[in-house]
Amino acid sequence: MCHLALVYNSYTMARQRTVNDLTIEELRHLIIEKRRTERQARLANFRRTGRVIAVEPQPTPAHLEDLRHTPLEIEKDVLVNPIKPRRRIWLDRLLLLVEVGAVLGLILILISGFNLLRTLNQEVSSALVQPTLAPTPLIMAVVLPSGHTPPNSPGGVQPNTAEIPEHLRPLVQSLADLPLPTPGPEQAIRIQIPAIGVDAPVVQGDGWEQLKKGVGQHVGTPNPGESGNIVFSAHNDVFGEIFRYLEKLKKGDQVILFTSQRKFTYTINQNMVVEPTQVEWLSQTQEAVVTLISCYPYLVDDQRIVVTARLQENP
């Protein structure tokens, strides 16, 4: 009993002092007592929950002397246990990196799938949209436009098919039946030639039906202001006689073209009479020019008059 009282007093005094004041032996006793207390608490918990375990006899204070001779076990618990949390920390960090990588990979997959879906939708939309194609002549014209028989001829006014070689007449007729493009905002809608009093609408195409409505623009020629040869045709003795006085034009006279947005002024540089088969006047050029064509002479219509003009530079 005296021995137990002595040990108890030593524990009580140890608790009242700081850690730095305790001896190694006192620290060992405190650790052993703490473990015993924790063990008893676990056993009490097992009993409350109904679990049955084999319990070793509780160590008595008399056994303290024997426990003093087990420093290796205590040191193992003190020195080895702290290593386990470090390993767990590194493992947790590794798992966190794996999770972050998985989330990033999933985000990249979703973004890639969204871009792929958008690209496929655009391709499908492009395939479904049918572009408006502007029909162009399949071959070079064999005669200059606006050809017709004179109004005083026995058969009256009608397209002059005699100018076209017989073997090409079916092909020319098939080209005349092609649909015409819808005028855009950059295309000519009106033409003025102040020197001879011309002010007329411009229509797309220079076939027989188109030239009844005004001045026809040859299909495939550029828009006003653009590089190339814009070809316009009109009659001189029928359907308004719009180009009746082309032969009176001289160098320096102006041809003014209007679009829905602006106007362009061209200056005449030459005026000549040619044969209906001289189709080179329909050819394209590097510079911006206008070519005006009509039948000639008046009420005879077996030739063509051609007037050309160059685009004026903007001031």
Based on the domain organization, do 68 and 96 belong to the same domain?
A: no
> Structurally, how many domains does the chain consist of?
3
Q: Is residue 72 part of a domain?
A: yes
Full domain range(s) for residue 49: 2-81
Based on the domain organization, do 18 and 107 belong to the same domain?
A: no
Instruction: Please report the pLDDT score of residue 121 as a whole number.
Output: 82
Based on the domain organization, do 117 and 49 belong to the same domain?
A: no
pLDDT at 226 over 60: yes
Q: Is residue 176 part of a domain?
A: no
Instruction: Return the CATH number at 195.
Output: 2.40.260.10
Based on the domain organization, do 206 and 296 belong to the same domain?
A: yes
Q: Where among 81, 105, 134 does a domain terminate?
A: 81
Question: Residue 94: which pLDDT band, with cuts at 50, 70 and 90?
Answer: confident
pLDDT in tens, 100-129: 889 998 999 999 888 888 888 888 777 765
pLDDT at 10 over 80: no
Instruction: Please report the pLDDT score of residue 43 as a whole number.
Output: 80
Q: 233 vs 208, which has greater pLDDT?
A: 233
Q: Are 221 and 283 in contact (CB under 8 A)?
A: no
pLDDT at 42 over 70: yes
Tell me which of 14-28, 185-199, 220-234, 246-260 is least confident. Answer: 14-28
Question: Residue 61: which pLDDT band, with cuts at 50, 70 and 90?
Answer: low
pLDDT in tens, 256-280: 999 999 999 999 999 999 999 899 9
Based on the domain organization, do 9 and 59 belong to the same domain?
A: yes
pLDDT at 57 over 60: no
Average pLDDT over residues 171-177: 67
